[in-house]
Every structure is written in structure tokens, then in C-alpha cells.
Structure 1
Amino acid sequence: MTVHANTALVGSEWVSDLRIEVEHGRITKLEHGKDAHPSDTRVDVLLPALANLHSHAFQRAMAGMTETRAAGRESFWTWRTLMYRFLDRLTPEHIEAIAALVFMEMQEAGYASVGEFHYVHQQPGGAPYTQLSELSQRIFSAASQTGIGLTHLPVLYTYGGVKQEPLAGGQLRFSNGVDRFLRLIEECQPLLPHADSQIGIAPHSLRATSPDDLQQVLKSTPNGPVHIHISEQVKEVADVEAALGQRPVDWLLDNADVNKRWCLIHATHMTDDETRALAQSGAVAGLCPITEANLGDGIFNGAVYTDAGGAFGVGSDSNVRISLPEELRTLEYSQRLRDKARTVLVRGEGSVGQALYTGAARGGAQALGRAAGNIAVGHLADLVAIDRSHPTLCSLRDDQLLDGLCFAAPDGTVTDLWSAGRHQVCGGRHIARDAILTNYRAAMSDLLADL
């Protein structure tokens, strides 16, 4: 397979007339200043495609259902109660159809891969399926249908709170002790959908596991990505500090070997010292600006983190809205609103849009353990093409294109997308869109009839 781009971003440089040769999903050759061959797939502007580093696919089906104010003050915790009620109705077939829709929408938005933070393992009420990996296999099937690159992150969720309260209600579907969790990982490994797929681990949070369980799981899985929810809510910080004697990020950095294989999801409420320490650890801050805004989580300590050279990536989390440009602009705009300043998340001088996009590309690839995030020989062909003739982009210089994409462009500028060389989006549409939508609508009709 060969792609020819009129303009492309290679590293930090914009180049013209780039030909890219791809074999077995990886880039094998780059040639600048070359005319297109008749057999080339021709595109306008080519970029490294981002990884969506944090997704709970099933929550996409709840979008728009939790925006009515109930008596008293709405919060993350009341949203969570509604989510648990929704969970009680989901069948394996529903989960597969919803995940396929989500993965398709991600690719049409410009994401070539996803970290699926998968914590629905059991039947309603907590009884296991005949195969521990039944619901993971549904995620694998959705990844196969869409061709998206997958880093599967089964979740260890053992307790209902930081005091090791028993699970109840909707949480019972998440239940896994350490032994069963490790068996689940082992069962999933040979079933992954693509050669570029991989598996990591996701101890859910410090409130849903215990220090001993966390250490045991880390010792048993010395390789691969480690993702954890950390410091998302003020109440969570207070609860962890009361139980463990330290704030969540401080405790984790002091009690685990947090390094480049780690991704700390949200990390919203950090002191400046915690922020700098996280940046220096080499871990990725997994930011989900649209969901964090939707749930009222708070604002990430972005300026301090960026100044300290911290790695970051973005994810669509609850999937209430899947929009790569909006994810990046919401991240920057949250900083501007807090600081009453402009152009916050760029070190020194330069394009904020390019700093956001390339930073998220590198950090997302690192978080997923994926050789991607840049157009380079040896990297996976995770590529996205955008339409420069769009009114919001047509007047911009090369070095302004990512500012236009991040801050001005609507959805719909993506023309083509490759996930490890699989050409899944053509002409702005996923190649399996019609079948995926049909299955999703049937699943939702069945699900809603029972709600």
C-alpha cells in the first residue's frame, strides 16, 4: 500500500509531496518531493492519527439521558447511580453493538486506536459468564468489525470504596478478585483481534482496589500498559487521604513504580508538587476534557504540568461526544478560563494547536504501548487525512493548520483514516458504517424497550 499526501506533518516539520509505503501495517519508506503514482491513494493533508487513550464504550448509549436536573444538586455521584441502573439491562449483544458504533465514530473523528478501559465482566447480579472473557470478546469483535487498533485494558474492581466495602448493585458486574482477574488476562491474550492489538491492566482506582491487591497484580504483570483512574473528584481525594494517609497521586508515586508504562486517568486535583512529580515520573496524564466538563470534575493543572515537560494524551471516556478537535480545544480553553490568559499549553513560543496535537499523539501512543504518534519508518501506519479545502482551513499556512483544526474546524474534516495500515475511513465515511448503524439501532431498540 502506498499513500501520497500533498502536505504532511513529519515530526515537527511540514513537508510537501510525501509518498509513504506501508507493509504489514508499518511504514517502510518515506519519500519527500515525489509525484504521485497512479496506484497511490492520494490525500490532501496527512497527519499522524491520535490514540484515544481512555474509553468506556458502553456509556455511549447513555448520551443525552443524564442531563436532567434532579431534586438537589446534581453531581458525578448521582450520574454514577444512573449509570449503574443502565448497566443492569446490558446484554453481551448490546455491548458489542455499542462498542462497534463507538469505535467507528472514533475513526471517523480521527482516532486510529483506542484504550478500552473495560470493567463490565460479569452478568447482572455478579454471576460469571461461562467464559470469563465473554464480554472482552465482544469488545474484540467490535474492534474486528471496525478495524480499530485496540489496547484492551481489563479492569480490576474489587471493592465498593476505599475502606474495602463490598460491591453492590450495578458494581457487581465489575467484580473481580486478583486471581480471577489474572485468569481473565491470560484468557484474553490469545484472542486479541489484530496483530497490533495488545493487552494491559487497569486497576480501576485506589478506591476500588487495595494496596495489597495492587502490588500483587503489578508483580504478576510486569509488562504492558497500566492505566488507573486517579484524583478525578474532590470527594475521592478526601476519601483516599483519610484512608491511606496521602492524597491519591502522592500515595501512588510513593508506593508504586510509576514510569512510562503508566497512564494516570484524569489526575484532575493535584497540588503543584504532585503535578511536577507526575511529569518527572515519565507517566502519561490521560485527560478526558469533554467528559470531565460534562461531569463537573474540575480543571487539570495543565500549565504547571506542561512547563515540567509532562506527557499527556486525550480520551473520550464516557463517549458523551466523540470529537477529536473538541477534546483538544476543551483542554486548552479550560486552562484559559481558569488563568484568564491565552495560549497556555505550549512551552515557550509556537503554535498551540500543533503543541496540543503532537503532544497528544505522542502521549496517546505511549499510553497504549503503541509504536505510533509520528509518521516515521518502523511506526505503525496510524494515519489520518484532513481536507484543506474546508472553509476553516483553506486560508491557513501549513504551520497554522493544526490551530485551525483545534480551534476553528467543525467535525467532518477527516477524509481518510488508517489503523495500522487498515484503510477504514474513505471519503469521510467508515467502510462498515451502514452495517454498524443497523446493528446499533436494533440493539438500542431492544435495550430501551426494557428500560
Structure 2
Amino acid sequence: MTILFAESALMHDGWRKNVRIGITAGLVSEILVDADPQAGDERHAVIVPGMGNLHSHAFQRAMAGLAEMRGPADDSFWSWRNVMYKFALSMTPEHVEAVAAQLYVEMLEAGFTRVGEFHYLHHDQNGEQYSDIAELASRIAGASAEAGIGLTLLPVFYAHAGFGGMPSAEGQRRFINSPDSFSRLMDRCRELLSPLAGARLGVAPHSLRAVTPEELATVVSLASFGPIHIHVAEQTKEIEDCLAWSGARPVQWLMDNAPVDERWCLIHATHMDDAEIDSMARSGATAGLCPITEANLGDGTFAARRFIEHGGRYGIGSDSNIDISLAHELRQLEYSQRILHRSRNVIADAGQSTGQRMFTDALRGGALALGEGDRISAGERADLVALDTSAVPFLQEAQIIDQWIFASGVRVDTVWTAGEKQVIAGRHRKRDAIRQRFQTSMRELLAS
């Protein structure tokens, strides 16, 4: 048994002092509070639960910072998407794995211990299926195993370029499946995840514009008991197109036509009217918020205050992976609300720490969306983060998460996944080798 001793630990019911955490076979096996450290204990100042990153497109890490050149007209998500297609069409399986491994190292160094990989790059550059239909999914699984991050794989069903079954575009050829080929892909993904400890399998109909109602029902049925993720209401054009197709707004259509419950994660859900906000909150679905990407793409601002007031759950994801930072995602979320409402500390209730409220909310929402636990508790997977507070020894416990998110005095020091130490003194144990392979891949991609 490994024993960690924390002077302070954030438990499900708040901060506790002098906590001894036993780890056996990757799980938390015992917890003692108000305990004395023992010889052989590994000692840390502060330990918190590891956070789930509920929405990632790993291959897009390759284009981080490379879509910031203004075009001849107003830029938007739709012009950014053309750059994304260029990278998607040029990557080999080796590139996909190298980029994903680099990304997962960065996530772990940021304090994320599990990733929800919304994986829609399936086929070769010509759009043909690989001999192994899950070739690229296997590369994602391999990268997650190498980096040591927990994986919730979300194979994406993508069939159409627009609402009403519009034929797919040429730039989407690596994404496209039929219901039959997607079913085979899901079967193969179950096989390749079976030896990967703690891995989860869900399903991701890409968006209402990319699936027909009949295909949506078929794909949802393939999820078994796993999570179901879908992009929805990210841009205003999507709202307009959905209204033209169905007479309903996207979230309204989902609530009226799909079995949305707590297994579902609605990614972005940025543009909702009040009725949609309230019905989504009642459904139990998690809002998958990606504040840095949503700001980068100019998508808009999520109605967090009303959603939370009505009992809505949310988690955070890094989506296009331009800046991998747990703290910055939460900061951007709160700052977006401050700008929207011209007020401070919008997400917290009176007397609450804003950072701690957001951190614990995102823990719960992310865990629900990814099918994993959200607390330091006996029997749970030992996904833990030790924070370095040596620069701010004067802080009280209630100020630690605020300092991490809104200032610069707290950083990630050590990260364990399934009880195995992946990050030490802020550096992933395989950082150098993985980065070298990533840099080689990037040189090849940018030269092509």
C-alpha cells in the first residue's frame, strides 16, 4: 500500500486537515482524517481530486495557434473549420498518436486526470476505411496509455454536412460512417479498450446537423449504459438552420425528441432561450462547457447563472486544445459571466469561494459525463492532484483554489492516475520523449 499524507485535502464535504490516503491496486483503500504522518508516508501540503476534461478533439492540438490569421471577410467558426479540415486530411496514424500523447501529457500537467475524447477522425486520407476500422481509435487509446491519463472514448457518428440529411462535404471524408459501419466501429472499440484499465466507452452523435433523427436513435442505442455526448447550439447559424429544418431550436428539439437524461452531455449549449435553459437543467444532462475554445472561436457566452440557479450541472473541456489549463478554463468561464452581467463573483453564492464552487461543480459534472468518480473516497480510483502552495504559505484553505484559478501563486505539483504517479514537480515523467516525437510530427505536417 502507498500512503499519501496531506496537510489539507479537499474532500466531498469540504477541506479536511492531516489526511492519510491509502492507495492499493489503483484505488483509494483507506482514508484517515486528523491523523499524524507516519514514517514512509509521502507528504504533500494540499491534495485535491483530479479533474475530468469532458471534451477533447486530440488531433486539433496540431493546429493550436495556427488559425489566427485574419481572412478577407469576418472570421468565424466556419472559416476556422476550413483550417481544421486541412489538418484533419493530412495526418497519418503516427501523427495522430504523437499529437494525442503530447496533448495528454499537457492535460496531466494541468491537473486533468481523465479525458473525454470526442473522436471523429476515423478513416484514411482518402476517406477509405483502414483494414482495422478502429485504427485511429487505437492510436488514441495507445496515446492515453502511454501518457497515463484515464480515457473515456466517445466515437463520433458523423454522416451529413447539414440538417435534413444533406450529403457530406469532401473535407469531411475522414469522419463519415453509415449506421452499419459505425456499429462495427463500436464493437471494435470495445475490444481495444478491454485491456486498458479504467477505460470507458460512450458514444457521440456529432450534432443534429450531422445525423438524421433516425440515425440519432440508432446511435444512442449503441451506447449501452455509457455516456452520450453531442455538440449542440454552438453557433447562431446552427440555431437558424435548425429552425428552418424543424421549426424548433436545437436544444428544444433534443428535449422533445430524444431521451435526454443524466447520461447525456450537451457540448456548448451556448445559444439557448430561457425555456431551453430550464428544460435542460431539469433533464439532468451535463452542459459540456469549453470556455477557452468558445471565446477563441467567437461562439458566444453560456447562460451559466440561470442554468446553475435552476439546478443545471456543468463540466469543462478543452475542445480544440489551444491552451491546456484547468485553471484558465474555469477563469474564462467566470470572466465571461462577469463581462455578460457586469458583476463580480457571478457563479458563487453569497459567502462562497468562487474558485472552489466552480472547481467542485466541474468535478461533479465532468465525472458524471465521463462515467467516473468525483471525490477522494475509499473504493474510488486514485486520481489525485497535489498542489504546490509554497509561494503562498499565508493562504487559508478557502483561498487556495481561488489563488490557483485567478492568480499565479498555486501550481500543479504531482499527479496520480489510478494511483500511479504521472507528474512530479510539475513535469510529466515522459515529457521529453513524447515532446520530441510531437515536434517531429509537427515539422512533417507543416511541411506537407
Match of 1:138?
139
Is structure 2 residue 320 aligned with structure 1 residue 322? no
User: 2: CA distance between counterparts of 1:62 and 1:267?
Assistant: 24
User: 2: CA distance between counterparts of 1:30 and 1:81?
Assistant: 51
The one-letter code matched in structure 1 to 2:148 is: G
| Contact 2:203-2:222 at 8 Å conserved across structures | no
Match of 1:449?
447
Q: Which runs of 4+ in 1 moved over 3 A?
A: none
Query: What's the CA shift string for 1:368-392, capped at 9, x where partnerless?
Result: 011x2211112211110101112xx
Match of 1:22?
23
Match of 1:12?
13
Match of 1:341?
343
| Contact 1:149-1:419 at 8 Å conserved across structures | yes
Query: What's the CA shift string for 1:182-205, capped at 9, x where partnerless?
Result: 111111112115221011000000
| Contact 2:286-2:313 at 8 Å conserved across structures | yes
The one-letter code matched in structure 1 to 2:406 is: F
Task: Trace 1:393-432 onto structure 2 (pairs within 5 A).
Answer: 393-409=392-408, 413-432=411-430
The one-letter code matched in structure 1 to 2:58 is: A
The one-letter code matched in structure 1 to 2:396 is: R
Cα distance change on mapping 1:325 and 1:442 into 2, 3 Å: same
Query: What's the CA shift string for 1:350-380, capped at 9, x where partnerless?
Result: 111111000001110110011x221111221
| Contact 2:227-2:265 at 8 Å conserved across structures | yes
Among 228, 234, 237, the alignment partner of 2:236 is 234
Match of 1:121?
122
| Contact 2:62-2:87 at 8 Å conserved across structures | no
The percentage of aligned residue pairs carrying the same residue is 48
Shift of 1:124: 1.4
Query: What's the CA shift string for 1:71-104, capped at 9, x where partnerless?
Result: 1111110000111112121000000000000000
Shift of 1:348: 4.4
Match of 1:205?
207
Aligned length: 446
User: 1: CA distance between counterparts of 2:23 and 2:76?
Assistant: 48
Match of 1:106?
107
User: 2: CA distance between counterparts of 1:277 and 1:182?
Assistant: 31
The one-letter code matched in structure 2 to 1:99 is: A
Shift of 1:158: 0.3
Match of 2:162?
161
Query: What's the CA shift string for 1:387-440, capped at 9, x where partnerless?
Result: 1112xx433211111111111127x71111111212111111101111101111
Match of 2:378?
377
Secondary structure of the corresponding residue to residue 173 of structure 1: coil
| Contact 1:260-1:366 at 8 Å conserved across structures | yes
User: 2: CA distance between counterparts of 1:445 and 1:220?
Assistant: 39
| Contact 1:269-1:300 at 8 Å conserved across structures | yes
Shift of 1:22: 1.4
Ranges in structure 1 where 5+ consecutive residues have no aligned partner: none
Secondary structure of the corresponding residue to residue 2 of structure 1: strand
User: 1: CA distance between counterparts of 2:230 and 2:419?
Assistant: 29
Task: Trace 1:291-370 onto structure 2 (pairs within 5 A).
Answer: 291-370=293-372
Task: Trace 1:206-221 onto structure 2 (pairs within 5 A).
Answer: 206-221=208-223
Cα distance change on mapping 1:247 and 1:356 into 2, 3 Å: same
Query: What's the CA shift string for 1:292-347, capped at 9, x where partnerless?
Result: 00000000000001101111000000001101111001000000101001111124
Match of 2:39?
38
The range that moved more, 59-68 or 400-409, is 400-409
Match of 1:288?
290
User: 2: CA distance between counterparts of 1:58 and 1:41?
Assistant: 36
Shift of 1:3: 1.1
User: 2: CA distance between counterparts of 1:242 and 1:349?
Assistant: 45
Match of 2:75?
74
User: 2: CA distance between counterparts of 1:249 and 1:190?
Assistant: 33
| Contact 1:55-1:315 at 8 Å conserved across structures | yes
The one-letter code matched in structure 1 to 2:175 is: F
| Contact 1:386-1:413 at 8 Å conserved across structures | yes
What is the TM-score normalised by the length of structure 2?
A: 0.97
User: 1: CA distance between counterparts of 2:415 and 2:210?
Assistant: 37
| Contact 2:56-2:317 at 8 Å conserved across structures | yes
User: 2: CA distance between counterparts of 1:39 and 1:182?
Assistant: 50
Secondary structure of the corresponding residue to residue 88 of structure 1: helix
User: 1: CA distance between counterparts of 2:131 and 2:120?
Assistant: 17
Task: Trace 1:56-75 onto structure 2 (pairs within 5 A).
Answer: 56-75=57-76
The range that moved more, 26-35 or 137-146, is 26-35
Query: What's the CA shift string for 1:190-221, capped at 9, x where partnerless?
Result: 21152210110000000001100011122233
Ranges in structure 2 where 5+ consecutive residues have no aligned partner: none
